[in-house]
Amino acid sequence: MTGQRRVLTDDLLAAALQHRAGSPDGYLLSTILGTTEAMPQRRGLGGLVSQRWILFGVGLLLLVAILAAAIVAGGGRLPMPTVPMARYHHNGTILILSAGNPVEIDPAATAIASDSALHLPTTYTADIPLLGMSWAPDGMQLALAAPQNVQLLDVRDGTWANLVACGSGGCAVAWSPDGSTLAIARMGHIDFVQLGERGPVPVDSVSTAGPGTPSWYPDGQRVRFFRGDAAWAIDRDGTNLLKLPGTGTTETAWSPDGSTVAWISHAPWSDTAGTNLTLKIGPADTASAEVSIDIGTCYCLGWAPGLAWSPDGTMVTFSSLGGGTLSLADGLYVVHRDGTGLQRVGPSGWGAPAWRPIP
């Protein structure tokens, strides 16, 4: 190594890849053609579904059946005997994702509670990320959006339950203000899942294409979400799907009293540079920004790293991926609702930060 700071440009990356790629020699072509010419093609069912895949499918079905039996026997919940009860020492902490796993942050003390005893059902990695979280209004349950499933963690006893599958595109979740319903963006739909004593019941499914993170209106009757380059809203009963005016806005969060709204605005997308993100805060009735903070650049379209209000409605927390006119370092920030007191409080989290309501 040279000891010099190396800046990764598109040119340099392309040159390195070109160098690695090389080119095939002439023998390879003749080898392939010689091999395949003497080889029969697969036709019929045998050509479409190999024996290996049939065996895999049978094994998978058996596994699903065993898991289903375990869930039924456990009253809808998978037991986790080795997990101790979750405990919290800090009221009003922010939960963020760092390297795919949750880290608890006390913004008042600017300290990271790395010994958080929050035990999650799965070990998340960069390849299997946890995409987002949402606290129940009472602060006792946490909905986790993982690529495979939406999972529900009860912090009182450390038990968890799988709610719904997410498909390959992952999920995003938002808890309704009254705590009765989860809005889940998954597989091109917004699903509303009621959480009653008998466990989760999907109440409706609205077909949309690629919805982003949902956010509830303060009255708990509607959900706003992002699709393509526009914001949409839909009633919790699945009716009144409506395209909202304006473009370039993804994450939106209303203050707990509903008077103020914070949102992340996107500059136009560039395939090489990504997009620039701006945090905006303004009155909910006019949606005109009184606070505007350039929070950096991102290779993201239709979503942003997320934001959340503090339970008392005085502050907003957001993730910055670095850069911007303020030259923010990659990390988690808090700012007062009037735009003052911008402060970095922790490492970056790709998923939306979730500010835990005071139980």
Partner 1 sequence: MNVSESARDGMVAAGDSLVARAGRGQHEAFAEIVEARLDRVYRTANAILNNEADARDVTQDVFTKAWTHLPGLRDADRFDAWLMRMTVNRCRDLLRRRHRSREIVLEELPPTAQPSARGIEISEVSAALERLSTEDRAILVLHHLHGQPVKEIAQTLGMPAGTVKWRLHQARQRLAQFLEADA
Point out which residues bind partner 1 (CB under 8 A): 1-6, 8, 10, 12-24, 28-29, 31-33, 35-37, 39-43, 47-48, 126-127, 168-170, 210, 212, 271-272, 274, 298-303, 321, 350
Closest to partner 1 by CB, 72 or 126: 126
Closest by Cα among 352, 176, 123, 179 to 251: 352
Nearer to partner 1, 6 or 198 (CB): 6
At closest approach, how far in Å is the CB of 23 from partner 1?
6
Transcribe 183-214 into DSSP letters. EEEETTEEEEEEEETTEEEEEEEEE-SS----
Cα atoms in the Cβ-side hemisphere of radius 13 Å centred on 275: 19
Of 225, 219, 126, 123, whose CA–CA distance to 173 is shortest? 225
Task: Kindly tell me which of 117 and 301 has the beta carbon lying closer to partner 1.
Answer: 301
Q: Work out how close the CB of 39 gets to partner 1 at its nearest, in angstroms, rounded to a whole number.
A: 6
Q: Cβ of residue 164: shortest distance to partner 1, in angstroms? A: 17
Both structure tokens of 233: 């809203």
Paired with 292 in beta bridges are: 280
- Distance in Å from the first CA to the final CA of the chain: 52
In the complex, least distance from residue 54 CB atom to partner 1, rounded to whole angstroms:
14
197 vs 271 by CB, closer to partner 1 = 271
Q: Would you say 218 and 284 are in contact if contact means Cβ atoms under 8 Å apart?
A: yes
Which residue in this structure is represented by tokens 């707990």? 256
In the complex, the smallest distance separating the C-beta of residue 148 from partner 1, rounded to whole angstroms, is 14
Counts for the chain of helices (H) and strands (E), in that order: 4, 24
Cα-Cα-Cα-Cα torsion 311, 315, 316, 321, nearest 10 degrees, comes to -130
**What whole-number distance in Å separates Cα of residue 297 and Cα of residue 98?**
19
CB of 302 vs partner 1, minimal distance in Å: 5
Q: Give the residue with the Cβ less far from partner 1, 27 or 340.
A: 27
Name the minimum Å distance from CB 332 to partner 1. Answer: 16
Q: Which is nearer to partner 1, 302 or 311 (CB)?
A: 302
Which of residues 19 and 198 has its CB atom nearest to partner 1 in the complex?
19
Nearer to partner 1, 55 or 66 (CB): 55
Residue with tokens 């300290």, as numbered in its chain:
111
> Residue 123 forms beta bridges with which residues?
none
How does DSSP classify residue 274? B
> What's the closest the beta carbon of residue 5 comes to partner 1, in angstroms?
5
d(CA 320, CA 307) in angstroms, rounded, equals: 10
